[in-house]
Amino acid sequence: MTVSWHDLMADIESCGACPLRAGCSRVVPGEGNPTADIMFIGEGPGADEDRLGRPFVGRAGELLTKMIHAIGMERTDVYICNAVKCRPPENRTPTAEEVAACRGFLRAQVALVRPRIIVLLGSTAGRDVLGDDFRVTRDRGKWIEKKGVWIMPTYHPSALLRDEALKRPAWEDFKAVRDKARALAEGMRDGQAAP
């Protein structure tokens, strides 16, 4: 069953299905183009996101925004959200139970946006979408196709801020996303099957 954006946002705002809601100041559902071709999924809101109610607006968000610009897009062209919609205390990694509690919302967002490409930013998003066996160091940079959607796992921008050496491989992943988006658009124009 597909819900409307209005109902989904209302359900997320009023959710208290896991303990994260009690510790955050506001819910951060996600933002961007509701019918975007590319969807970015991160881990969870941090302090700045919790304050402003918007995803990826702190330092890691600035870097993500720069990388989106570098592949020729604006934030308003894509859809950006997180595995969990409420800030984990002290920015800890959300537990598997918390991610599972929020998974229905993420799935509903994917069902509404219907992206052609999903970029998984970091381990939490990777495990959420691809399963517990996911390892970002091993699995990043490799396309996975699921039900016609192309999935690219890569590092979370906050990991790039901690370790400069990860910037180059992450940039390679973003260029692969740019090239796939172009190829898919060209395939649509030419009426060909997706590459």
Tell me which residues touch ligand SF4 (CB under 6 A).
12, 15-18, 20-21, 27, 84-86, 98, 101-102
When the beta carbons of 78 and 102 are compared against ligand SF4, the nearer one is 102
Shortest distance, position 86 Cβ to ligand SF4, whole Å: 3
The DSSP bridge partners found for residue 39 are 79, 118
When the beta carbons of 11 and 77 are compared against ligand SF4, the nearer one is 11
Shortest distance, position 16 Cβ to ligand SF4, whole Å: 5
Q: How many Cα atoms occupy the beta-carbon half-sphere of 41 within 13 Å?
A: 27
Shortest distance, position 33 Cβ to ligand SF4, whole Å: 22
Shortest distance, position 84 Cβ to ligand SF4, whole Å: 4
Q: How many Cα atoms occupy the beta-carbon half-sphere of 50 within 13 Å?
A: 17
The DSSP bridge partners found for residue 150 are 117, 145
User: What token pair was written down for 33?
Assistant: 């183009």
When the beta carbons of 20 and 118 are compared against ligand SF4, the nearer one is 20
The DSSP bridge partners found for residue 145 are 150
When the beta carbons of 17 and 183 are compared against ligand SF4, the nearer one is 17
Shortest distance, position 94 Cβ to ligand SF4, whole Å: 7
* Helical spans, DSSP H, in the chain: 5-13, 20-23, 47-52, 59-70, 96-113, 123-130, 136-139, 157-162, 167-190
When the beta carbons of 34 and 89 are compared against ligand SF4, the nearer one is 89
> For residue 45, which of 123, 158, 163 has the smallest C-alpha distance?
158
DSSP 133: T
Q: Report the greatest alpha carbon distance in the chain.
A: 51
When the beta carbons of 75 and 85 are compared against ligand SF4, the nearer one is 85
* Whole-number Å distance between alpha carbons of 159 and 157: 5
Shortest distance, position 55 Cβ to ligand SF4, whole Å: 13
